[in-house]
Amino acid sequence: MYGTGLAKGLMLTLRHFVESYVDDVRYGFRKYHHSTDNFGIRQGTKTKGVITVQYPDEKIAVPERFRFVPFLIIEDEDHPTRAGKDWCTSCGICAKVCPPQCIWIVRGNDPDTGRPVPEPEAFFIDIDICMNCGFCAEYCPFDAIKMDHDYELASYDRTTHHIHDKERLSKPNSYWRSIAPTRAYDEMLVRGTWEHKDAAKEARRGAASARGSAPQPAAQTEAETASAPAAAAEAPAATSEATAASAEGATPWSEDEAKREERRRKALERKAKRAARRGQ
């Protein structure tokens, strides 16, 4: 009969109208109360239709993989040895994989030697260009740049707010671990430590060199930096010079200084060799 299709459709809209109240009735006056845990159900697959999110009063927490503008990870303030230090080593991979090229990195140079140091001097992201693709976070070999979950960034002025510099970008490691615990855990498994790759490496190296002539099996999978001073204390004092070294070894950077000098000398030798070869 002509009109039945129409009537069926109208019945459907009526059903929708009624159903839109069913859920409200089910939760009574508690529906927007934050102590009720019905949010997950109301925004999930179990409920019928879709239920309005009362935005500023209740927000959908974004999933762990969510990506908005990037941020840089720095060590927490209470980190024993590297407090406030960047995870970023200014290797430049994020700037290379960035599709719209919105990342600018100034690689730091050691003022004395002129060699690059693994720490960015300046880091800028123009969020007016950023396309939130997440490549920088995906391809960062040091897990130093991550996609933020804070999307509430609206501003009245873009000239001063929309180029994020290093200060604005830096957020502590604990923040990342709090917004994406599963992913942070997975990354830890890949790295083998909760620490930064370099920190772990240094710790291992520090421990090994402190033990000096009596090398111990380095079965330190966790390789906490804190173990370096401990190991140094344990190490037997072979000579007075070594004692001095190991006492200083409690401070990883002075230890590192010697290492760096050594590396630099070797590199210079290699360079000289190459130059000689080219000269021939």
Partner 1 sequence: MELNLQELNATEFPVPTELENNIAITSLSQLYNWGRRNSMWPMLFGLACCAIEMIATASSRFDFSRFGFEVMRATPRQADLMIVSGTVTKKMVVPIVRLYNQMPEPKYVLAMGACASGGGPFKEGYNVVSGMDKYLPVDVYVPGCPPTPQALLYGMIALQRKIDGQSIANGDDVPWYGVGTAEATPVPVLGPDIIDPRQMDMIRRQAEASARDLDRLGGRELPAATQLVAAKVETRETAAEAEPIDDDALSFVLPAGAAPWAEAEDIREKRRLRALARKALRASRRAAAVEEG
Partner 2 sequence: MVAPALDPEVQTNSTTIEGAIDYLVSARPDAVSPDSRDGYEGIIVAAGQLLEIARMIRDDLGFDYLSSATAVDYLGEGDHMEMVYHAYRTSGGGALVFKAQTDREQAEIPSLTSVWRGADFQEREAWDLYGIRFAGHPNLKRILMWEGFHGHPMRKDWREAYYEEEQKPFDSRWPGGHVHRSEEKNVFGKNVAYPPDIDLGRLMDTSETAVYQSLGLGVDVERIMDKDGFETNELVVNMGPHHPSTHGVFRMVLTVDGETVTSLAPVMGYLHRNHEKIGERNTYLHNIPFTDRLDYISSMGNNHGYVLAVEQLMSLGRRYNEPTYRCEALRVMMVELSRIVNHLWAIGFWLNDIGAFFTPVLYFIQERERILDFFEAVAGSRMMCNYMRFGGLFGDLPERIKSVSNLTNDRVRDYNTMQFLTEMINERIPRTIDELELLLTQNEILIERSMGVGVLSRDDAINFSAAGPLLRGSGVAYDIRRAEPYSIYPELDFDVAVEDEGDMYARYRVRVTELRESVRILRQILPRLEATKGESIWADGKPGAYAPRVPLGEAYGRVENGKGELGYYIVSAGGRNGSMNPWRYHVRAPSFINLTPMGVMCHGHKVADIVGILGSIDIVLGETDR
- Per CB under 8 A, residues contacting partner 1 are 49-56, 59-60, 62, 68-69, 83-84, 99-100, 102, 106, 108, 111, 121-122, 126-132, 151-163, 165-166, 250-251, 253
Q: CA 145 to CA 74: how far, in whole Å?
A: 9
**92 makes contact with partner 2 (CB under 8 A):** yes
Mapped onto helix, strand or coil, the DSSP state of residue 108 is: strand
Binding of partner 2 by 124 (CB under 8 A) = yes
Q: List, in order, residues 6 or more apart from 229 with CB less than 8 Å away.
A: 249, 250
Q: Taking CB under 8 A as the rule, does residue 187 contact partner 2?
A: no
Residue 153 binds which entry of partner 1, partner 2, none, with Cβ cut-offs from 5 to 8 Å by kind? partner 1
In the complex, the smallest distance separating the C-beta of residue 162 from partner 1, rounded to whole angstroms, is 7
CB of 279 to partner 1, least distance (A): 36
**Of residues 126 and 234, the one with the C-beta less far from partner 1:** 126
Least CB distance from residue 121 to partner 1, whole Å? 5
Q: Choose the contact partner of 191 out of partner 2, partner 1, none; CB within 5 to 8 A by kind.
A: none
Report helix, strand or coil for 103. Answer: strand
Q: What residue type is 220 in one-letter code?
A: Q
User: In whole angstroms, what separates CA 175 from the centre of its chain?
Assistant: 9
Q: Does 98 bind partner 2 (CB under 8 A)?
A: yes
CB 47 within 8 A of CB 23: yes
Of 258, 244, 245, 210, the C-alpha closest to 230 is 210
Which of partner 2, partner 1, none lies near 138, with the C-beta cut-off 5 to 8 A by kind?
A: partner 2
C-alpha span between 262 and 265 (Å, rounded): 5
Residue pair 131/99 in contact (Cβ under 8 Å)? The answer is: yes
Q: Which two tokens stand for residue 258?
A: 């010697």
Residue of the chain from 88, 105, 144, 207 that contacts partner 2 (CB under 8 A): 105
Residue 1, Cα to own-chain centre: how many angstroms? 65
Asked if 114 interacts with partner 2 (CB under 8 A), we say: no
Contact yes or no for 178/61 (Cβ under 8 A): no
Instruction: Return the residue of 29, 34, 111, 157 that touches partner 2, per CB under 8 A.
Output: 34
Q: Which is nearer to partner 2, 35 or 280 (CB)?
A: 35
What's the token pair of residue 126? 């123009």
Give the nearer residue to partner 1 in terms of CB position, either 131 or 233. 131
Nearer to partner 1, 84 or 215 (CB): 84
Q: Are 153 and 69 in contact (CB under 8 A)?
A: yes
129 Cβ partners below 8 Å, 6+ apart? 100, 101, 102
List residues near partner 2 by CB under 8 A.
2-6, 8-9, 12-13, 16, 34, 39-40, 43-46, 49-50, 56-67, 90, 92-93, 95-99, 101, 103-107, 116, 122, 124, 126, 131-135, 138-139, 147, 149-150, 152, 163, 178-182
